């Protein structure tokens, strides 16, 4: 804005013969990079896997030797939670007997770094996850205990994060961008973003016959309009895929 006003002054000066050239024509403004957000609910809804693509993704995921990454992506794909919510989980939020997961917080980014804040809609929710995902989380919990024990860190406390970093503090959820990119490239899989796993879960819920209200609650949508928009995009893409499979 300051540049624009100054440029107008220079044009006035040229018009009245005070100067010959406008020096602001040579000024290059810096490109302001958009801050990377942890929440990604504005991503394109077409960003999701079909059931067959997800099976292929999970098959390769089972081969991954990094149990933490395996647990992260499996949980996101089978819970539909946002990555910020996943990285805010504490072990006390997971009931291994009932398969319930309590989502109460989300990792946020502020001026002083990462912190735990409320979920996007400000409401906690409890969802069920499948037995296999629970099993992988158990494996990761055991592995986490060993890794942090070597650093003299005791993980046997109620505030222990499920997916902490190597210093046992909040892990930046955006680390998943590189993790997933490397994984997909390694196995020559179709591109998908971390948030795309959330859309994938949503599409499979609809495919399984879940109601709009059920999906809205499970994904933590504040406005049912968001759920309906995803439903519309999922339905449209599915129809296109079916048409492309028709023999002509």
Give the pLDDT confidence score for residue 186 in this predicted structure: 94
Residue 43 lies in a domain: no
The count of other CB atoms within 10 Å of the CB of residue 186 is 10
Q: How far is CA 7 from CA 17, 28, 29, 32, in A?
A: 15, 13, 13, 20
Torsion sign over Cα 85, 87, 93, 99: positive
Residue 206 lies in a domain: yes
- Angle (CA) 71 75 77, round 5°: 120
At 33, is the pLDDT very low, low, confident or very high (cuts 50, 70, 90)? very low
Half-sphere exposure of 221 (CA within 13 A, CB side): 22
Its domain, for residue 26, covers 1-32
Max mean pLDDT among 137-141, 220-224, 234-238, 240-244 falls in 137-141
Are 83 and 142 found together in one domain? Answer: yes
Average pLDDT on 72-92 reads: 97
Are 89 and 1 found together in one domain? Answer: no
Are 25 and 136 found together in one domain? Answer: no
Give the pLDDT confidence score for residue 31 in this predicted structure: 37
Are the C-beta atoms of residues 214 and 127 closer than 8 Å to each other?
Answer: no
Are 16 and 123 found together in one domain? Answer: no
Query: Which residues are CB-neighbours of 53 under 8 A, at least 6 positions away?
Result: 189, 190
Q: pTM of the predicted model, to two decimals?
A: 0.78
Total domain count, the chain: 2
Written as six digits, the tokens of 178 are 């590189």
Q: What's the mean per-residue pLDDT of the chain?
A: 85
Residue 97 lies in a domain: yes
Are 10 and 96 found together in one domain? Answer: no
Report the distance separating Cα 73 and Cα 195, nearest Å. 10
């Amino acid at each position: 804005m300051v540049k624009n006003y100054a440029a107008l002054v220079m044009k006035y000066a040229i018009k009245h013969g005070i100067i010959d050239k406008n020096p602001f024509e040579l000024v290059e403004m810096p490109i302001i990079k958009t801050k990377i957000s942890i929440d990604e609910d504005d991503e394109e809804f077409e960003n999701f896997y079909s059931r067959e693509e997800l099976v292929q993704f999970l098959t390769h995921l089972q081969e991954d030797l990094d149990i933490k990454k395996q647990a992260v992506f499996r949980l996101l794909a089978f819970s539909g939670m946002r990555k910020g919510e996943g990285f805010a989980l504490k072990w006390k939020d997971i009931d291994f007997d009932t398969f319930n997961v309590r989502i109460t917080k989300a990792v946020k980014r502020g001026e002083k770094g990462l912190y735990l804040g409320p979920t996007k809609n400000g409401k906690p929710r409890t969802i069920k996850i499948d037995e296999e995902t629970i099993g992988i989380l158990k494996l990761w919990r055991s592995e986490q205990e060993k890794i942090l024990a070597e650093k003299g860190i005791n993980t046997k406390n109620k505030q222990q994060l499920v997916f902490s970093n190597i210093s046992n503090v909040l892990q930046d959820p955006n680390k998943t961008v590189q993790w997933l990119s490397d994984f997909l490239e390694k196995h020559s899989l179709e591109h998908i973003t971390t948030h795309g796993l959330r859309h994938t879960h949503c599409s499979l819920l609809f495919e399984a016959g879940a109601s709009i209200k059920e999906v809205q609650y499970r994904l933590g949508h504040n406005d049912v309009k968001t759920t309906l928009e995803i439903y519309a995009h999922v339905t449209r893409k599915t129809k296109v895929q079916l048409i492309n499979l028709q023999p002509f």
